[in-house]
A and B are shown apart, each in its own frame.
Chain A
Amino acid sequence: MSKKFLTLSLLSLVAPQAGAFQAPEKLAITGAKVITVSGETYEKANVLLENGRIQAIGKDLEIPWDAKVIDASGKVVMPGLVVAQTNEGLDRPNENVPVTPFLSVLDALNPVDAFFEDSLREGHATILVIPGNETVIGGTGRVVKPHGLTVESMTVRVDGGMKIAASPRRGVSAMAHVAELRKAFVEFRDELEVAAEKKLASAKNEKKAEAPSAAAGKADDKKADEKKPEEKKGDDKKAAEKPAPIDPLQVLEWRDLTPRQRALFEVLSGRMPVFLWCERAMDVAHAIEIAKSQGFLARTTLVIGAECWKAADEIKAAGLSVILPSDFVHREIDPLTGKERETSLPKVFAAKGIPFALNATSRGALLERSLLLRAASAVAAGVEPAVALRAITLEPARMLGLQDSHGSLEVGKAGTLLVLSGDPFRSGTWVEEVVIDGAHLYSRSKDDRLQRLTGDSKDGGR
Chain B
Amino acid sequence: MLALFSLCLAALGAALPNSGIEPPVQAAPDEHPWLIQAGTVIDAKGQRFAPGAVLVKDGKILAVGTGLVAANAKVRDFGAHAVVTPGLIEANAEIESIDRAEEGAEITPRLRLADGLDPESRAWAGLRRNGVTSAFLSPGGRAVISGRGAVVKTMPTADERWILDPAGALKATMGQEPSGGNIVPRFGRPNSIFYRRPTTRMGVTWEFRKAFSDAQLYAAARSAGGPLDPDAQVLADLMASKGEIRMRARLLQDIRTAIRLAEEFGLRLVIEEGIESFRSPEEILAAKAKLIYGPTLFEPAGIVFGFGFATGSVRQQETDRNYLATPARLHASGVEFALGSADYAATDRGLAHQAAIAVHFGLPREVALRACTVVPAMWLGIEKRVGTLEVGKDADLVVWSGEPFELATRPVAVMVDGVFADAQED
Contacts and interface: CB of A to CB of B under 8 A. Distances in A.
A457 to B, nearest CB: 11
Contacts of B5: none
A333 to B, nearest CB: 8
B53 interface: no
B407 A377 contact: yes
B407 A365 contact: no
B407 A369 contact: no
Given A428-B360, A453-B325, A339 B408 contact: no
Interface residues of B, number: 41
Contacts of A342: 129, 424, 426
B249 interface: no
Contacts of B122: 333, 338-340
Interface stretch (A113-121, A221-229, A287-295): A113-121
Interface in B409-426: 409-410, 424-426
B408 A377 contact: yes
B303 A340 contact: no
Contact of A114 (B302, B353, B357): B302
Interface of A is mostly: mixed
B356 interface: yes
B146 interface: no
A1 interface: no
A454 B362 CA distance: 9
B303 A461 contact: no
Interface stretch (B63-71, B84-92, B191-199, B291-299): B291-299
Given A365-B349, A453-B305, A380 B410 contact: yes
B301 A367 contact: no
A343 B348 CA distance: 13
Contacts of B357: 366-367
B70 to A, nearest CB: 30
Interface string A377-397: 101111001000000000000
B167 interface: no
A455 B407 contact: no
Contact of B324 (A362, A428, A454, A460): A454
Contacts of A454: 324-325, 361-362
B303 A365 contact: no
Interface string B246-290: 000000000000000000000000000000001100000000000
A389 to B, nearest CB: 11
B1 interface: yes
Contact of B359 (A363, A427, A453, A461): A427
Interface string A417-457: 00000000111100000000000000000000110111100
Given A381-B410, A425-B408, A461 B325 contact: yes
Interface in A254-271: none
B201 interface: no
Interface string A312-346: 00000000000000000100010001111111000
Interface in B385-422: 401, 405-410
B126 interface: yes
Given A365-B349, A460-B329, A121 B410 contact: no
A320 to B, nearest CB: 25
B276 to A, nearest CB: 10
Interface of A: 114-115, 117-118, 121, 329, 333, 337-343, 362-363, 365-367, 369, 373, 376-377, 379-382, 385, 425-428, 449-450, 452-455, 460-462
Given A114-B303, A363-B301, A373-B407, 4 more contacts: A121-B303, A367-B407, A452-B305, A453-B325
22 contacts: A114-B303, A114-B304, A117-B302, A118-B303, A339-B122, A339-B425, A340-B125, A362-B302, A366-B324, A367-B357, A377-B407, A379-B409, A380-B408, A425-B407, A428-B362, A449-B303, A449-B304, A450-B303, A452-B305, A454-B362, A455-B325, A455-B328
